């Protein structure tokens, strides 16, 4: 079986075996390296291995390790401090409770239009700095997520309440289990409702009401997140810009998984699985190099559109046999349309405007 194991699946496919992949990229999303781990490994357990790999491959340069909250634990942070290493990481949402007053009346600094940051003091005992961030775009996104979950949770609880009142649900134990499953499924919204199931002489009863205090707190924390770091010499706005580079790395990983066909992997043998991942990684290297080339040429960063435009260019090899029985190969390239010629010009690419004699490399090597 090798590294193919069953484990937590973000695609909701616990029936499928999987492998875990750690991708290392530069701030410009240029891929540097990758590692394949067993499919039942937790994200946080791969951190130490990846740190050792990076330091062994690229040396102990002064770099900032940026990780989201799912990758770190207190043990991982303690290990980073012992190396010593510089880090900037996300924190669990529950830690926002410690910054409630700052959310209400703190002194915010604009990191970029629509994003505010402020440094807060938390009694943590490690000498770390904590950075409170608030994004206008994330406010709307978080609100939409919570409202959607709250609506579905309320529908489920109301349905249960109706069944209890009609007598179709008479088991308190079963009803409480159903409430627990609903709250687990819609965790972001489970504090918005107060649920109480009790028994009386008339049978089972269920009280359902909105938690107004939780609603006010949820509205206040929408779009907010807390970062922690041991970086000393960067101001809050610069720290935020460093952390947001993580989204660029995540974008590269998403690009690797779906557009470049990393998944699903249909191979069964481990060597073929490794080869599949390696080819997808090479494709990502080429794709990101093309995206940077386009960006520097003022053409955006969408290689897919450029490649679709380039499909109209065709190349034809004309093979002529001379009297000496020597093959002469002439390569002829079609003339592109005006819009494609503009793209080629901006990229600095010149198509051959006359037949070009080329060598049959395969035949030459065969001899």
Tens of pLDDT, residue by residue over 295-342, are 888 888 778 888 888 888 888 888 888 777 777 778 888 888 888 888
pLDDT at 11: 54
d(CA 64, CA 243): 9
Nearest to 106, CA basis, from 20, 226, 1:
226
Give 313's contacts (C-beta < 8 A, 6+ positions apart). Answer: 333, 334, 336, 340, 351
pLDDT in tens, 178-232: 999 999 999 889 899 999 999 888 889 999 999 999 888 888 888 899 999 998 8
* Mean pLDDT along residues 269-296: 85
d(CA 174, CA 152): 20
Nearest to 276, CA basis, from 30, 36, 50:
36
Nearest to 99, CA basis, from 243, 242, 224, 235:
224
Q: What is the pTM of this model?
A: 0.65
Q: Which residues of 210-233 are buried (b: 16+ CB within 10 A; e: fewer)?
A: eeeeebebbeebbbbbbbbbbeee
Q: Which tokens sit at 104?
A: 């209400």
Nearest to 25, CA basis, from 248, 280, 266:
248
C-alpha distances in angstroms, 194 versus 36, 115, 153, 213, 231? Answer: 45, 34, 12, 11, 42
Q: Which tokens sit at 132?
A: 């409170």
Most trustworthy range by pLDDT among 20-24, 265-269, 324-328, 341-345? 341-345
């Amino acid at each position: 079986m090798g590294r193919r194991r069953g484990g937590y699946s973000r695609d909701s496919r616990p029936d499928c075996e999987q492998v875990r992949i750690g991708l290392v990229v530069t701030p410009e999303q240029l891929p540097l390296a990758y590692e394949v781990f067993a499919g039942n490994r937790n994200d946080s357990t791969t951190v130490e291995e990846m740190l050792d790999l990076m330091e062994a491959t690229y040396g102990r340069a002064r770099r900032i390790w940026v990780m989201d909250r799912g990758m770190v634990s207190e043990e991982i942070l303690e290990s980073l401090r012992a190396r010593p290493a510089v880090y900037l990481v996300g924190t669990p949402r529950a830690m926002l409770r410690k910054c409630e007053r700052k959310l209400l009346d703190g002194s915010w600094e604009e990191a970029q239009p629509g994003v505010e940051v402020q440094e807060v003091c938390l009694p943590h005992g490690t000498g770390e700095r904590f950075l409170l961030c608030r994004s206008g775009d994330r406010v709307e996104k978080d609100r939409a997520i919570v409202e959607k979950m709250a609506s579905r949770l309320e529908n489920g609880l109301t349905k249960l309440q109706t069944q209890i009142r009609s007598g179709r649900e008479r088991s308190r134990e079963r009803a409480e289990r159903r409430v627990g499953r609903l709250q687990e499924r819609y965790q972001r919204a489970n504090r918005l409702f107060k649920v109480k199931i009790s028994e009386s002489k008339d049978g089972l009863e269920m009280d359902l009401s909105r938690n107004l205090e939780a609603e006010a707190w949820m509205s206040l924390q929408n779009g907010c997140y807390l970062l922690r770091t041991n970086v000393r010499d960067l101001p809050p706005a610069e720290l935020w810009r460093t952390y947001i580079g993580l989204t660029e790395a995540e974008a590269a990983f998403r690009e690797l998984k779906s557009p470049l066909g990393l998944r699903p992997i249909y191979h069964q043998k481990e060597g073929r699985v490794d080869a599949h991942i390696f080819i997808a990684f090479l494709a990502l290297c080429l794709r990101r190099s093309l995206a940077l080339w386009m960006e520097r040429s003022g053409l955006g960063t969408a290689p897919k559109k450029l490649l679709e435009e380039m499909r109209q260019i065709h190349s034809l090899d004309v093979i002529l046999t001379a009297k000496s029985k020597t093959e002469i190969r002439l390569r002829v390239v079609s003339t592109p349309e005006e819009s494609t010629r503009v793209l080629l010009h901006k990229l600095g690419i010149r198509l051959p405007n006359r037949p070009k004699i080329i060598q049959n490399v395969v035949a030459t090597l065969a001899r």
